Amino acid sequence: MTSDKNSLRPYKDWIFNASRAHRSRVIVAIDLFDGPPEKIFNASNRLLAKTIYNLCGVKLGRQTVLSLGRQRTQHLIRLAHSNDIPCLIDDKLNDIGETNEAIAKTYFQLGFDGVTANPFVGESGLRPLFRTAHRDRKGIILLTFMSHPSAFEGYGQRVLPKGRTIPEFQYRLFARQALKWGADGVVVGATYPRIIREAKSILSGKVPIYSPGVGTQGGSLEEAREAGTDYFIIGRSITLATKPDVASANFARVSFGKDQVRSVR
């Protein structure tokens, strides 16, 4: 069950502490959905049992939660909590403010500790979400530059911000907004180390960078780490590995590099 200690701690501090305790900046992405719910549940359970000591967080995909249903999802969240690591839902909320807030509340009631959201909806689309999340010490992770090849089409376009005369890259605006709104993290793909570097300098060490895209999508953990990634979201390179325990241990070791304590709080 979620301990009182967990629910009293802001998400951002919790993952920071879990990362130090487990000497890992790795969040495993569980994106299983094929087959009967019990089978998906057993596979997720086995995976977590083998990898949990090498993780600082767990992230469930929406497809996994929809396939598992409420009770099995709660069981997995409790498993993460009993090992003192937080559990994120990756739903990339992208609706009007009230709807984003309602979806997030439902996830938080299930036991999730943080949710991803899309800043394209703008401040009024996110304000109620931030209010609800931070009141309950939950985390909001905002997309800033996704990891897939066509991420440039949206996050990389140049836009003319209101009241300005010089165009600016969308992702730079998103990074600044994440800082202004008090986001608990931003997503920048490991496949774009140059953009991680830019985001790092905008965020000035105040908002941690979460990077998916390591391994299967072609991103290098070392390059992303050197560019400034704080937490690595890794799915298939762990979940489909012949030995997920070994794969997660290797990623965990490399995720810290020489610096054992650098991570944004």
Instruction: Quickly tell me which residue has 């967990």 as its tokens.
Output: 6
Asked if 220 is part of the footprint of ligand 3DU (rule: CB under 6 A), the reply reads no
Residue of 39, 59, 92, 180 marked catalytic: 92
d(CA 182, CA 39): 39
Asked if 233 is part of the footprint of ligand 3DU (rule: CB under 6 A), the reply reads yes
Query: What is the identity of the amino acid at 105?
Result: K
92 is catalytic: yes
d(CA 95, CA 147): 22
Rounded to 10 degrees, what is the CA torsion of 184, 234, 250, 140? 10
Asked if 212 is part of the footprint of ligand 3DU (rule: CB under 6 A), the reply reads yes
Asked if 230 is part of the footprint of ligand 3DU (rule: CB under 6 A), the reply reads no
Asked if 250 is part of the footprint of ligand 3DU (rule: CB under 6 A), the reply reads no
- For 192, the 3-state DSSP assignment is coil
**Total interface residues for ligand 3DU by CB under 6 A:** 18
d(CA 146, CA 149): 9
Structure tokens that stand for 97 in this block? 């403010």
What residues from 44 to 73 belong to the interface with ligand 3DU (CB under 6 A)? 61
Instruction: Quickly tell me which residue has 């800033």 as its tokens.
Output: 144
Write down the least CB distance from residue 5 to ligand 3DU, Å: 28
Query: What is the identity of the amino acid at 233?
Result: I
Among 234, 249, 252, 264, binds ligand 3DU (CB under 6 A): 234
d(CA 243, CA 199): 34
What residues from 123 to 182 belong to the interface with ligand 3DU (CB under 6 A)? 146-147
Q: Which stretch binds ligand 3DU (CB under 6 A): 43-51, 133-141, 157-165, 214-222?
A: 214-222
* Catalytic annotation, residues: 92
Give the binding site for ligand 3DU (CB under 6 A): 29, 31, 61, 90, 146-147, 187, 189, 212-213, 215-217, 233-237
